[in-house]
Each structure stands twice: as structure tokens, then as C-alpha cells.
Structure 1
Amino acid sequence: IYFATEMAASMQMTTSASVNKRMFAPAADRNKEPICKMLQKYLPQKGCVLEVASGSGQHVSYFAQTLPSTLTWQPTEYSGHASFSSAQQEVQAALESISSYCEGMSNVLPPLALDASAATWPVDGSEFVAVLATNITHISPFPVTEGLISGAARQLGPGGVLLIYGPFKVGGVASPESNVRFDGSLRSQNASWGLRDLETLQALAEEQGFAAPEVNEMPANNLMLMFKKLR
């Protein structure tokens, strides 16, 4: 699931017969490079990275090819809403899109269905060096944000990192005006959606043993938050 701050772009099926299982999200194509630069900054040279809500698979395939091949990727997706107006997506279609983008990549594991708000995840018991979540917190009910942070805490050992990308409120305020409009549009579509407060995420993360986040400004009025696991 991917959204630009200024607009929500529906994923569309491509028409080429060779890639007819692939979905395409324009926002994912636009933001993959700046996000990848943040991953280069924070990820170790090896280990397994869990991506929560991989969407079409555009991101994970790009990261797997661009970052060291000694990093392994575990993509996931949830059968939630793929855009403002779409009906519930079929998770199998999303998983097939991810698999198509990542075909032949030895450092990408088969995608899994994962509900971030669930008390248990299908990867529980695995060991990850990082958990990545892109454009999730504002386009899902708040329990998903809570579950994302508590679930990441279960997957990461000391020194592991949780990376959360998207638009946020800071000090309870959405800024600039485009984010104010975006927040209002989200809430008008679904009262349980909307930009989350950075301070709320920090409090949740600290309860789960993470340090205060490093906050990185990103294009289109987004932020990349890096929470390091302390215990």
C-alpha cells in the first residue's frame, strides 16, 4: 500500500502478458530512491529485513537489487484497502504481484499474508535486523500502528531498527497545508484513518524498548522515522 502525501494513487494492473500479475503504484515508483537512501544509512550489510505491507512489490524488488545482496528480504501484504476508494483487495493478487516483481531474486523470500494488528505474526520466532513499514500508519486504523510497533519489538533484538515512512503530525499539528488537506481527506473517507502524531508513535515505541526516533525529512512532506531497539 503506497500513498504520496499530495494524493492517493490506486494500484493498477499492467497489461503486458509477461507481467500481467504485477500491480503498479506511481507513488512507489517516485519514492523508492529516497527511501532506499535511508535504508543505506540505517541497514546493516547482512541479515533479514521484514517489510510490512509490501504493496505491489515495487519497493522490495528495487531494494533487493540495489542494496547488498547479503541482505535478505521478507515481503508481506494484508488484504486491506489498496486505495481511498477501492474495495478490499484480494491478498492473493497482491502476493502474486510481489512474487512477479521479485521473480528470480535469490535474496527475496516468498511473500506472506500478515495482519500487523494481530497478536501474533506468521514470522514470529524468526530473527530480523530491521522492520520496514512504508505508508501504513495513516491509511489504516490506529490498532495497526500499535500492532506494527509491538510486532516489530517481537521480531528485533537489541540494535535492530524499525523504520516507518510516511506523513505525520508533529506536536499534534499537520504541516504544511497540503498535509492538513490530506489528513482531512483521509478522515472523510474513513474515520479511523489519518495522520498520526509523531509523539504518539514515540511513546508506543519507548514502551516496547525502542529509543527515541531519529527523524529524517523526506520529499513530498514525508518523514522517515528510525527507532532502534535497546532491549
Structure 2
Amino acid sequence: MEGKGKLVGWGTTGVVQLTSTGVVIKTPWKGEDLAQCRKDMLTEARVYQRLGRHPRLVGLLDWGPEHYTLTLEYMPNGSLRDYLKADPNGISAVQRLIWAKETAEGVQLLHSANVIYCNVGPRNFLVGGDLGLRIADFSGSSFDGSRAVEDDIFSLGSTIYTLIIGQDPFRELDSDEVETRYAARTFPDVTDQSCGDIIQGCWAGGISSAQEVVDILAAKLLTAKEKEQSARCVETGSGSS
């Protein structure tokens, strides 16, 4: 693999390197899987080109069709999954709601362009320098009705669970057992949890669109910010008396 900079990530499709100019270049793996990796990179480029620029999207700076390379803006805070693990107790409830809303906005952006993500999860949302989330890695996405939205909505519910609860659903079980429980429509109890209605709705089919999740979270976020502001006013008043 030709070095283009500092290695900052990798996956099944290719490697991501940070260059001296402050951008990242994603390059497909070489070897026997090169043809498939190039196909996946082309899919990712098509998604970026279809969506254009958006606050919930990592910015595409260049597509190199000759070598199937993507040049993208750098997200200095890494993935949402890594950020949550690094500071689990330092993230406020309001910030978690903001991120939950932003994950739903990212999924809705894709669905509005007839793109099914097929890979919704905390590892594929990146945290920008402004702490805003950007959705990334579209190599496994599908276009124009080739897949249904339900899988994305289900995974969105699991992502919001991880954000709000602070751990993955059924963390204590192996992946096969988790899949078995999901297939049997058995889910973690979220009755008394913040956003439990959204999570359960995504899992059980009561919520049918990412936009519905965005709208519900917008209302919850407004209420949470009002409560936070009221608490600050009380603290300020108590401190000055």
C-alpha cells in the first residue's frame, strides 16, 4: 500500500490516511479483493455525489476515478463510538439528545435521496471539531428501492439506545444470541428510559421514518434545554441570595 499519510482508520473496503495538508484520503485495499473494494468505493462516491454537501455529512473534497480514491474532510474527534467510550461520564443528557437527533438527521438525509445506508451504528458517525455528527462510510449502501428502510430504522433505534443508555443492546450476549433475540422480537426493556418510546418504536415498527424520529427528538430536546436553563437560573439565584 502506497503511503499517503498517517493511518487513521481502516475497514473492509480500504484504508484512511491523514495527509500533511489536513485532509484524509480513503484508498481501496489491494490484492485479490481489489475489484470488490473498488466497486464499494464507487458506490460510496455515488452516494456523496448524489447527496452534495450537508451539515450531517462528511465533506467530499475529491473523487479520483483512476485509482478509486476519496479525499474527505478530517473529523478530529473520531467516531461516535470511540468518543462515547473515552468520556462516558462527561457527556450531558442534552448532548446525548443532540447527538440522537443528529444521527436521525443523517439517516433521513440518505432516505430523502433514496439511499438505504445498511450500516447505521455509532462507529459510522464521526464527531467533528464542533462536536456535530457527520455520517460516513457508504460503501455498503443501496440505491432506489433495492433495500427497504426498515433495517435502517431498526438500527437507528439501537444507535439511540447506545447513546442514551451508554452501552450496546444486550451487551452481555454474543452477536449470534443477539440476532436470535431480535428475530424473536425480544428487546431490552426501555420502558422507563429517556427516549424509550423512540427506541421501542424503531425496534417494533411503530416508527416508520427517520424524519419521525427527528421530529420527536426535536420536541424532547427543546424540553430538556428548557429544564436545563431553569436549573441554571435556580442555581444562579441561590448563589446570589
TM-score of Structure 1 vs Structure 2, range by shorter chain: under 0.3
TM-score (norm 1): 0.27
* Larger RCO (CA under 8 A, 6+ residues apart): 1
TM-score (norm 2): 0.26
